[in-house]
Amino acid sequence: MTSDGSPAPPTHELRGDALALSYGRTRVVHEVSLHLRPGIVTALIGPNGSGKSTALRALARLHRIDAGSVHVHDAAGRRDAASLSAKEFARTVAMLSQSRPHPSGLEVRDVVAFGRHPHRSRFSGLTDADRDAIERALALTGLAAMRHRPVDELSGGELQRVWLATALAQGTGILLLDEPTNHLDLRYQVETLDLVCDLADHGTAVGVVLHDLDHAASIADDVVLMRAGRVHAAGAPAEVLTAENLTEVYGFRIDTAVDDATGRVRVIPRGRHHERIRRPQVVPA
């Protein structure tokens, strides 16, 4: 049991070894290896088109693999992900992707309940365990008071949280998140990142694609920096998020510093106007 009384997730690992991935005849990911471990947040970062989301989708069996392999490691041993049935895999790995259907005519709780499908037989109703998982996911994402709202009435940020709750309701030991803070205001960005850390603290293996480098620095235990479909650097945030690495990969000057209060890396992009002298602000008396 976890500290909040909920069942602890199983300790699963997910490995992608020497993955080669394509769109049509165009190879977009070249021999990328990723290892997601229990209790560890692994952040995939890089410019648009670097292959990070495609690599994450391959781990989730949502993108065909040209070469390489994906394996799940759990109490049953090392298993090829492709050998698992859809339900077996969905009991192990949950993913919040960027492309999701827009449900209509359903309430928030109904959508979150979709996350329990891998645990149910075809015609069975919700069990007490299903209801507990749904309620916990609603509470963790701040949606408990909105459970009966029609999803057609939600903002983009609210709907993003509903899909996150759906992924959490699966109760898996591995969670894959593709830009989970998109469309969220500042409060819910912070709360989502806090939730990711909470899940890792309870043993979940988390792989997350992030565009915001400061977000990656704040929550990641491991960072994978990708460029043109290859891993440019991988390791602890302080090792990967260097001015040299980031400037080379993103193609313009990026400085870094260490935050005195947290000891974490801060990323400082230097645009063409970074030295511009701005008009002093007048503070009202």
- CA pair distance 151, 149, nearest whole angstrom: 6
Residues 6+ apart with CB under 8 A from 178: 53, 56, 57, 95, 96, 97, 98, 208, 209
Q: What is the DSSP letter of 273?
A: T
Helices (H) and strands (E) in the chain, counts: 9, 12
pLDDT at 1: 45
Cα–Cα dist 7/95, whole Å: 20
Q: Which domains does the chain have, with CATH numbers?
A: 12-92+173-180+203-270 (3.40.50.300)
Structure tokens at 180: 């989970």
What pLDDT is stored for residue 8 in this prediction? 52
How far, in Å, CA of 59 to CA of 176, rounded? 8
pLDDT at 113: 95
Task: Quote the pLDDT of residue 101.
Answer: 74
- Give residue 68's pLDDT: 97
What is the DSSP-derived secondary structure letter of residue 7? P
Are residues 29 and 209 in contact, defined by beta-carbon separation less than 8 angstroms?
A: no
DSSP 8-class letter at 150: B
Give the phi and the psi of residue 132 in degrees, each rounded to 5.
Answer: -65, -40
Residue 175 has a pLDDT of 96
Prediction pTM value: 0.88
Q: Taking a C-beta distance cutoff of 8 angstroms, is the pair 267, 214 a contact? A: yes
CB 66 within 8 A of CB 29: no
- Cα 80 to chain center, whole Å? 22
Give the model's pLDDT for residue 261. 86
Token code pair at residue 25: 């005849």
pLDDT, averaged per 10 consecutive residues of the chain (285 residues), comes to 51 94 97 97 97 97 97 87 94 88 88 93 85 94 94 89 93 94 89 92 95 96 98 97 97 94 91 74 68
pLDDT value of position 44: 98
